[in-house]
Structure 1
Amino acid sequence: MGDDRGLVLVVEDEPAIAELERMYLADAGFGVHVERDGSRALESVSRLRPAAIVLDIGVPGMDGVEVCRRLRARGDWTPVVFVTARDDEVDRILGLELGADDYVTKPFSPRELVARIRGLIRRAAGSPGAEARRIGPVSLDPARRRVEAGGARVELTATEFDLLEHLMSQPGRVFTREQLLSSVWGVADYSSSRTVDVHVAQLRTKLGDASWIIRTARGVGYSAAGADD
Structure 2
Amino acid sequence: MEKTLTKVLVVDDDPALRQLLADYLNRHGYDTLLSNDSHDLPARIERYTPDLIVLDRMLPHGDGADACRRLRQMGEDIPVILLTGRDDTIDRVLGLEAGADDYLGKPFDPRELLARIEAVLRRKKGASALVKEQPVHFGPFTFDPARRQLLKENSPIKLTGGEINLLEALVRNPGKALSRERLLALARDDEEGERNDRAIDIAILRLRRAIENDPKQPHYIQTVWGVGYRFSP
TM range (shorter): 0.5 to 0.7
Task: Name the SS of the counterpart of 1:100 in structure 2.
Answer: coil
Task: Name the SS of the counterpart of 1:38 in structure 2.
Answer: coil
2:110 aligned with 1:122, yes or no?
Answer: no
2:17 aligned with 1:11, yes or no?
Answer: no
Please tell me whether the aligned partners of residues 10 and 54 of structure 1 are also in contact (alpha carbons under 8 angstroms): yes
C-alpha distance in structure 1 between counterparts of 2:72 and 2:31, whole Å: 23
2:82 aligned with 1:82, yes or no?
Answer: yes
Residue matched to 2:93: 93
Residue matched to 1:57: 57
Residue matched to 1:39: 39
Residue matched to 1:68: 68
- Counterparts in 2 of 1:153-164, with a 5 A limit? none
Q: How far 1:22 moved relative to its partner?
A: 0.8
Residue 125 to residue 66, structure 1, CA distance change in 2 (3 Å)? same
Please tell me whether the aligned partners of residues 42 and 67 of structure 1 are also in contact (alpha carbons under 8 angstroms): no
Residue 145 to residue 30, structure 1, CA distance change in 2 (3 Å)? farther
Residue matched to 2:132: 144
Q: How far 1:121 moved relative to its partner?
A: 1.7
Q: Number of matched residues?
A: 138
Identity of aligned residues (%): 42
Residue matched to 2:108: 108
Q: Deviations over 1:181-216 (max 9, x none)?
A: xxxxxxxxxxxxxxxxxxxxxxxxxxxxxxxxxxxx
Q: How far 1:113 moved relative to its partner?
A: 0.4
Q: How far 1:3 moved relative to its partner?
A: 7.8
Please tell me whether the aligned partners of residues 126 and 145 of structure 1 are also in contact (alpha carbons under 8 angstroms): no
Task: Name the SS of the counterpart of 1:55 in structure 2.
Answer: strand
Residue matched to 1:158: none
Residue 143 to residue 65, structure 1, CA distance change in 2 (3 Å)? closer
Please tell me whether the aligned partners of residues 37 and 59 of structure 1 are also in contact (alpha carbons under 8 angstroms): yes
Task: Name the SS of the counterpart of 2:34 in structure 1.
Answer: strand
What is the one-letter code of the residue matched to 2:34? V
Q: How far 1:127 moved relative to its partner?
A: 7.3
Unaligned runs of 5+ in 1: 129-140, 149-154, 156-229
Q: Deviations over 1:74-105 (max 9, x none)?
A: 11010000000112221110010111000000
Task: Name the SS of the counterpart of 2:9 in structure 1.
Answer: strand
Q: How far 1:145 moved relative to its partner?
A: 7.9
What is the one-letter code of the residue matched to 1:9? L
Task: Name the SS of the counterpart of 1:34 in structure 2.
Answer: strand
Residue matched to 1:28: 28
**Highest CA radius of gyration, 1 or 2?**
2
Question: Structure 1 segments of 4 or more deviating over 4 A?
Answer: none
Residue matched to 1:208: none
TM-score scaled by length of structure 1: 0.54
Residue matched to 1:180: none
C-alpha distance in structure 1 between counterparts of 2:24 and 2:92, whole Å: 24
C-alpha distance in structure 1 between counterparts of 2:44 and 2:70, whole Å: 13
C-alpha distance in structure 2 between counterparts of 1:42 and 1:63, whole Å: 15
Q: How far 1:54 moved relative to its partner?
A: 0.2
Task: Name the SS of the counterpart of 1:39 in structure 2.
Answer: coil
Please tell me whether the aligned partners of residues 7 and 52 of structure 1 are also in contact (alpha carbons under 8 angstroms): yes
C-alpha distance in structure 2 between counterparts of 1:32 and 1:145, whole Å: 30
Q: How far 1:142 moved relative to its partner?
A: 2.0
